[in-house]
Amino acid sequence: MNFPCWLPKMHPVGPWTGKTYYELYQIFRNDFILSKPLFCGKKVFIFPEMEDGKEKIFWHLTTRDDKKAKQRLPDLRRSERLPWIKPIIDNFLAPEILVWDYEEASKDIHTYFFSKKVTL
């Protein structure tokens, strides 16, 4: 595996157990609620809307819509990479990271991050 030295290990999510969401939420809480990260000198805003006792963005980061099941189900690949989000934001100037703004259909501007040199 080819990882930048500042990128932490993925969080093990297999086998998925009753405590997996608890562990993932602790990572999310530490990285985004308690530490209040900055991007370009501005606080990273976490929408306060809650669902099932957790911020909706947490569910977006750890689950995927399953059209057949008509619900959000755990996404192992998203979940195991949750510890990467804050370090990627913190290191957005690193040559491995691409960052761009995109105007969504709603006219909201979203910033996207992509790690181009991480290979598994």
- Asked whether residue 5 is assigned to any structural domain, the reply reads no
- Are 100 and 109 within 8 A, CB to CB? no
- Asked whether residue 45 is assigned to any structural domain, the reply reads yes
Task: List, for residues 67-76, the tens digit of each pLDDT value.
Answer: 998 999 999 9
Q: Model-level pTM?
A: 0.89
Q: Is the pLDDT of residue 18 over 90?
A: no
- Are 36 and 42 within 8 A, CB to CB? no
- Asked whether residue 42 is assigned to any structural domain, the reply reads yes
What's the number of domains the chain is made of?
1
**pLDDT confidence bin for 2, thresholds 50/70/90:** confident
- Asked whether residue 100 is assigned to any structural domain, the reply reads yes
Q: Is the pLDDT of residue 89 over 60?
A: yes
Q: What are phi and psi of 30, to 5 degrees?
A: -65, -40
- Asked whether residue 13 is assigned to any structural domain, the reply reads no
Mean predicted lDDT score pLDDT of the chain: 93
- Asked whether residue 6 is assigned to any structural domain, the reply reads no
Domain of 105, in residue numbers: 20-115
